């Protein structure tokens, strides 16, 4: 028995509790043992008067710890945390005898018994409370942005303007991503097509001029480890074969280089040399070397007037510590060769939308002249095919809608139409998806004369000197063979290689479609599962430029919150007992929030990253880890207290509910839905916190059943369910009927379901007990 | 209580034509009939649609619309099972499977029986010989299609098989007898008779 002095305060809640719980009886019972040294009642403990009573008693009786039996912690937890002040704010417990007792139990006697049991539980458990402090944390004021397309550049600019140090890395030799390549973008409000480079250049300039931004091209993220809130990252920069300081962009090297490779900038429509400048306006404006095609003949070295070329240059490994990471790795386009029926790339007159954009780009292979590749003439007709690889459940297809292809096709069609009025443009579609304002642009283009046929073509063939597209016009029910000079495929947007690589390195999950998974698609659209890592742009899913920019700005705001907010984190995080820890590192590998790291022969816990989920507790073979303020012993004590005054013939169910389940149970009370009085709730942050030893302890010390209420939409769901099966097996081995353990899904609004589940379990246990 | 409610719901769903097709034993378990977005890709590739009034997409539309007259419609007999529609449909539908099921529904009614009545000699041949072979009445056309060589082969088949060291193609009387019994027991003969009755009516 500890010699700590524990005081209990009982709130009447203006009759809400006292009408249905005999608080005098509770008081007399509490005072019978020697655990509690003082009990006080009050009409409304949350009032100022209540505050004085609590404070007064703490000082007068020199209380060490306090139990306040009242409403839910969510309602008044903070209030009482303040009221107990001279005491440390974590030295109290709050049994919920209102929502989870007086409001859900009809019979006053039962309600009283239950209240006493809940309070006993808190009395036992508060003995294990230790003084804790909120953890003030600082996130390092530096950010790594992966990917320098429009999203990455936007985020970098915004962060740098807020005073942060930004490292912006890009895998390719030049920045600008898909936007710079596409040539023209459109503005639906103005019904116009604008020059993409003209819009993008000021943004790029701003990035280049900002001294807080370090741009590294030809660079990838190689590894990342979490180190108490920060990330230690390693970047690999391809060799700088051409010294940027010396290169004057004279282009002599390119002239003499004998080796050709397909030109990525022009989507392979033309070739480039092995040493080259990606495109005339490329930033950084510097020559680059494609070391896979280079044959090391050295001709370029001979002609370079500034001796800028060094073919023996080696990779650069850069290590960096940053406070946050933004994944802006963009997308790639569906490989249309997976739909050979459309003839790409077998027929040179079948193009992708991006190839068409390059053909029409003034800095493209034909200086902006649209010509049929096989004939060099202006096409008389162009047919576009939508949904190539999108909305497609066939193997290799993507089920989702790529969201922007309808607008892209419409824009390119209008461009063709306005430059070549004699060329007929037909778009074959399944549905035209131009939500919001874009509908206006669609109607405008349609009125301009671009034709839309509703039908999904099945094949493209070459007949004589032209192409034929076969489809059914599903609106007129006519089968058509459209003869055309040029076919353009609107290929799906898909997750880029770079996105998948970054996700792997950073340990963030992907969606089923391989895009970066946000923490919550509605409420936290730019956060990821790992605190401090954010996502924006098409790395997260198909979207247009506007949306990408909005997301980029959101990500920067979120980082600013993290850095400037002066974060105070709840202290319920993992803590490692150095004496027991053997440094096996299992916990580090298993923590999906990357909260743990190895430091000078000890395991360190990152307070921002750690969610207190308790996964590490389960993994650690040495039982060296506990969650502060939530030790195994404390949990056991809660159970012990609940079972303390069990009456003969009374049935008790210990219900461990996670946070969602606990709110759902509170809703039962608020809505006065009856719940069997046998149910005694213990709120745990995550269900995997409950170990077999707790289940067994409960069932061997008087509990008739153990109920686990779990919100199923959590990352560990399958493991939890699996674990329950294992526990059931253990129960059987230990001679306990496994039916006494039940796991059930909980959702906040589904409180009636929870109540009836409790009832059903209660009935079942009664039958079990009779048998 | 709970489960009977579920039952009720799925029973309601099962009533309409589309669900009857989906629940048919011939329908593959993941048939995308209800996912059809009427894109028309099937029709664009369907040879039957190309050469007749048959429109693969339209068949699906009528089924989804619950248009029962499709069962009586001549048009469902135009599909010749090339399975192109099934191989291209982006939502995993198969018009080909659907028409097969519609045909079976039609066969359960007189109109379908009339449709397949002209093939009944295949069944007769099967009952007679206990194995599948081309009925005599088709030989004339096959002779025209394949020429003298085919006729020679048919006439000298036994001899040719003998030379190749093969046994007789025909079954032994006791095997025939047991097949005959089987065809009786499984109701094959009865169904053949039902189809013939339609002609005789
Ligand atoms: S799992 Fe346990 S023993 Fe192993 S390193 Fe982590 S804390 Fe130490
Ligand atoms: S291809 Fe499939 S989805 Fe498209 S109309 Fe035909 S059945 Fe429907």
Q: Which residue has the tokens 């004939």?
A: A375
Question: What pTM did the predictor assign?
Answer: 0.83
Whether B113 lines ligand 2, by a CB cut-off of 6 Å, is: no
Whether A625 lines ligand 1, by a CB cut-off of 6 Å, is: yes
CB contact under 8 A, B90 and A457: no
Nearest-neighbour CA in chain A from B38: distance (Å): 7
The whole-number pLDDT of residue A24 equals: 96
Closest CA relative to residue A233, chosen from A544, A621, A506, A565: A506
Chain B residues near residue A397 by CB distance under 8 angstroms: 90
The whole-number pLDDT of residue A618 equals: 83
| Band (B13; pLDDT cuts 50, 70, 90) | low
CB contact under 8 A, A393 and B92: yes
| Band (B45; pLDDT cuts 50, 70, 90) | very high
Chain A residues near residue B30 by CB distance under 8 angstroms: none
CB contact under 8 A, B37 and A479: no
Whether A635 lines ligand 1, by a CB cut-off of 6 Å, is: no
Nearest-neighbour CA in chain A from B37: distance (Å): 8
According to DSSP H, which parts of A284-401 are helical? 299-303, 353-360
Contact A520, A713 (CB under 8 A): no
Q: How far is the CA of A575 from the centre of ligand 1 (A)?
A: 11
Closest ligand to the CA of B61: 2
CA distance A363 to A327: 29
Atom of ligand 1 nearest to the CA of A596: 6
Nearest-neighbour CA in chain B from A474: distance (Å): 6
Whether B96 lines ligand 2, by a CB cut-off of 6 Å, is: no
CB contact under 8 A, B41 and A431: no
- Mean pLDDT within B18-46: 95
Most informative mutation of B39, B46, B92 for ligand 2 (most atoms within 8 A of CB)? B39
Q: How far is the CA of A28 from the centre of ligand 2 (A)?
A: 76
CB contact under 8 A, A472 and B55: yes
CA distance A535 to A484: 42
The whole-number pLDDT of residue B169 equals: 81
Q: What element of type H or E holds A423?
A: none
Atom of ligand 1 nearest to the CA of A625: 7
- CB burial of residue A360 (10 Å; 0-12, 13-18, 19+): buried
**Residues forming beta bridges with residue A473, ordered by sequence position:** A478
Atom of ligand 1 nearest to the CA of A577: 7
Whether A604 lines ligand 1, by a CB cut-off of 6 Å, is: no
CA distance A390 to A548: 20
The whole-number pLDDT of residue A2 equals: 56
DSSP strands (E only) in A175-243 = 184-187, 192-195, 213-216, 219-227, 230-237
Whether A622 lines ligand 1, by a CB cut-off of 6 Å, is: yes
Closest CA relative to residue A364, chosen from A181, A592, A223: A181
The whole-number pLDDT of residue B2 equals: 39
| Band (B10; pLDDT cuts 50, 70, 90) | very low
**CA-to-CA dists, residue B31 to A430, B44, B95, B96, angstroms:** 20, 20, 10, 11
Question: Is ipTM beyond 0.90?
Answer: no
The whole-number pLDDT of residue B140 equals: 86
CA distance A335 to B189: 55
| DSSP codes of every residue in A622-676 | T--EEETT--HHHHHHHHHHHHTTPPTT---EEEEE-HHHHHHHHHHHHTT----
The reply to whether A601 touches chain B by the CB within 8 Å rule is no
Residue A632, Cα to own-chain centre: how many angstroms?
30
Contact A336, A329 (CB under 8 A): no
Whether B57 lines ligand 2, by a CB cut-off of 6 Å, is: yes
**Average pLDDT, 10 consecutive residues per value, chain A (771 residues):** 85 95 96 93 94 95 96 93 94 97 96 97 96 88 97 98 97 96 89 90 96 97 87 96 92 95 94 94 92 94 95 95 97 96 94 96 91 96 98 94 97 96 97 94 95 96 95 94 97 97 94 94 91 96 96 97 82 92 92 88 89 87 90 94 92 95 94 95 92 96 96 88 96 96 94 95 95 80
Whether A595 lines ligand 1, by a CB cut-off of 6 Å, is: no
Residue A719, Cα to own-chain centre: how many angstroms?
20
B10 or B122: which leads in pLDDT: B122
Q: What element of type H or E holds A603?
A: strand A602-605
- CA of A392: which chain B residue's CA is closest? B90
Q: How far is the CA of B94 from the centre of ligand 2 (A)?
A: 8
Q: How far is the CA of A198 from the centre of ligand 2 (A)?
A: 43
Nearest-neighbour CA in chain B from A454: distance (Å): 7
Tell me what the pLDDT averaged over chain B comes to. 88
Residues of chain B contacting A, Cβ within 8 Å: 32, 35, 37-45, 49-50, 55, 57-58, 88-92
Contact A498, A329 (CB under 8 A): yes
């Amino acid at each position: 028995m500890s010699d700590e002095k524990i005081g209990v305060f009982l709130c009447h809640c203006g009759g809400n509790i006292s009408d249905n719980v005999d608080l005098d009886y509770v008081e007399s019972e509490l005072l019978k043992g020697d655990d509690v040294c003082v009990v006080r009642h009050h009409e409304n403990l949350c009032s100022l008067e209540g505050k004085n009573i609590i404070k007064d008693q703490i000082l007068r009786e020199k209380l060490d710890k306090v139990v306040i039996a009242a409403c839910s912690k969510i309602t008044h937890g903070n209030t009482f945390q303040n009221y107990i002040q001279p005491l440390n704010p974590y030295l109290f417990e709050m049994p919920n005898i209102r929502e989870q007792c007086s409001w859900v139990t009809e019979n006053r006697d039962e309600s009283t018994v239950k209240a006493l049991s809940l309070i006993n539980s808190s009395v036992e458990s508060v003995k294990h409370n230790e003084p804790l402090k909120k953890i003030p944390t600082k996130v390092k004021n530096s950010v790594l942005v992966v990917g320098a397309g429009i999203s990455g550049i936007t985020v970098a600019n915004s962060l740098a303007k807020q005073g942060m140090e930004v490292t912006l890395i890009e895998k390719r030799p030049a920045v600008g991503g898909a936007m710079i390549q596409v040539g023209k973008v459109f503005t639906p409000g103005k019904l116009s097509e604008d020059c993409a480079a003209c819009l993008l250049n000021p943004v790029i300039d701003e990035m280049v001029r900002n001294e807080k931004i370090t741009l590294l091209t030809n660079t990838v993220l190689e590894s990342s480890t979490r180190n108490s809130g920060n990330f230690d990252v390693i970047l690999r920069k391809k060799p700088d074969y051409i010294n940027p300081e010396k290169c004057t962009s004279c282009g002599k090297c390119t002239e003499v280089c004998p080796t050709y490779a397909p030109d990525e900038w022009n989507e392979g429509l033309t070739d480039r040399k092995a040493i080259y400048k990606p495109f005339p306006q490329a930033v950084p404006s510097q020559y680059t070397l494609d070391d896979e095609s280079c044959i090391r003949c050295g001709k370029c070295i001979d002609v370079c007037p500034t001796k800028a070329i060094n073919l023996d240059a080696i990779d650069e490994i850069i290590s960096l510590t940053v406070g946050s990471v933004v994944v802006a790795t963009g997308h790639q386009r569906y490989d249309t060769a997976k739909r050979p029926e459309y003839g790409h790339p077998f027929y040179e007159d079948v193009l992708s939308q991006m190839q068409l954009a390059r053909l029409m780009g003034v800095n493209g292979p034909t200086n902006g002249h649209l010509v049929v590749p096989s004939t060099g003439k202006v096409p008389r007709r162009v047919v576009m095919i939508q949904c190539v690889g999108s909305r497609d459940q066939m193997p290799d297809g993507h089920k989702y809608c790529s969201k922007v292809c309808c607008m892209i096709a419409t824009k390119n069609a209008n461009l063709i139409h306005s430059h070549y009025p004699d060329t007929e443009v037909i778009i074959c579609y399944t549905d035209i998806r131009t939500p919001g304002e874009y509908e206006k642009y669609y109607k405008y283009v349609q009125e301009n004369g671009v034709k839309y046929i509703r039908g999904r073509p099945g094949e493209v063939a070459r007949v004589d000197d032209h192409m034929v597209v076969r489809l059914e016009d599903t609106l007129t029910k006519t089968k058509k063979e459209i003869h055309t000079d040029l076919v353009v495929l609107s290929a799906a947007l898909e997750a880029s290689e770079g996105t998948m690589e970054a996700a792997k390195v950073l340990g963030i999950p992907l969606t089923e479609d391989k895009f970066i998974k946000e923490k919550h698609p509605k409420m936290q659209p730019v956060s990821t599962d790992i605190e401090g890592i954010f996502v924006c742009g098409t790395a997260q899913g198909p979207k247009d430029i506007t949306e990408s920019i909005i997301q980029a700005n959101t990500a920067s705001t979120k980082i600013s919150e993290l850095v400037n907010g002066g974060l105070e984190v709840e202290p319920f995080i993992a803590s490692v007992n150095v004496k027991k820890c053997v440094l096996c590192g299992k916990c580090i590998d298993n923590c999906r929030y990357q909260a743990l790291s190895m430091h000078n022969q000890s395991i360190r816990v990152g307070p921002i990253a750690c969610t207190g989920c308790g996964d590490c507790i389960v993994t650690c073979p040495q039982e060296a880890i506990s969650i502060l303020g939530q030790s195994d012993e404390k949990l056991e004590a809660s159970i012990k207290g609940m079972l303390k005054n069990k009456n003969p013939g009374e049935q008790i169910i210990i219900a461990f509910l996670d946070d969602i389940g606990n709110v759902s149970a509170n809703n039962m009370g608020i809505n006065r839905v009856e719940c069997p009085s046998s149910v005694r709730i213990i709120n745990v942050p995550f269900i995997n916190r409950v170990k077999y030893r707790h289940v067994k302890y409960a069932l061997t010390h008087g509990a008739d059943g153990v109920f686990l209420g779990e919100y199923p939409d959590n990352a560990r769901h399958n493991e939890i369910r699996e674990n329950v099966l294992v526990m059931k097996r253990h129960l059987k081995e230990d001679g306990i009927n496994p039916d006494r353990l039940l796991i059930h899904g909980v959702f906040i609004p589904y409180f009636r379901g929870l109540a009836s589940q409790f009832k059903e379990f209660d009935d079942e246990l009664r039958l079990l007990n009779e048998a | 209580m709970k489960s009977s409610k579920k039952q009720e719901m799925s029973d309601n769903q099962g009533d309409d034509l589309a669900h009857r097709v989906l629940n048919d034993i011939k329908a593959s378990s993941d048939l995308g009939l209800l996912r059809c977005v009427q894109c028309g890709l099937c029709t664009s590739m369907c040879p039957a649609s190309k050469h007749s009034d048959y429109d693969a997409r339209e068949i699906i539309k009528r089924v989804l619309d619950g248009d029962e007259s499709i069962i009586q419609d001549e048009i469902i007999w135009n599909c010749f099972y090339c399975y192109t529609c099934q191989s291209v449909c982006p939502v995993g539908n198969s018009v080909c499977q659907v028409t097969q099921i519609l045909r079976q529904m039609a066969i359960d009614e007189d109109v379908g029986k009339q449709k397949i009545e002209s093939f009944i000699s295949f069944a007769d041949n099967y009952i007679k010989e206990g194995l599948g072979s081309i009925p005599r009445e088709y030989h004339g056309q096959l002779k025209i299609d394949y020429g003298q060589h085919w006729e020679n082969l048919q006439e000298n088949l036994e001899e040719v098989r003998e030379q190749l060291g093969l046994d007789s193609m025909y079954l032994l009387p006791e095997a025939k007898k047991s097949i005959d019994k089987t065809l009786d027991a499984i109701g094959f003969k009865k169904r053949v008779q039902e189809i013939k009755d339609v002609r005789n009516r």
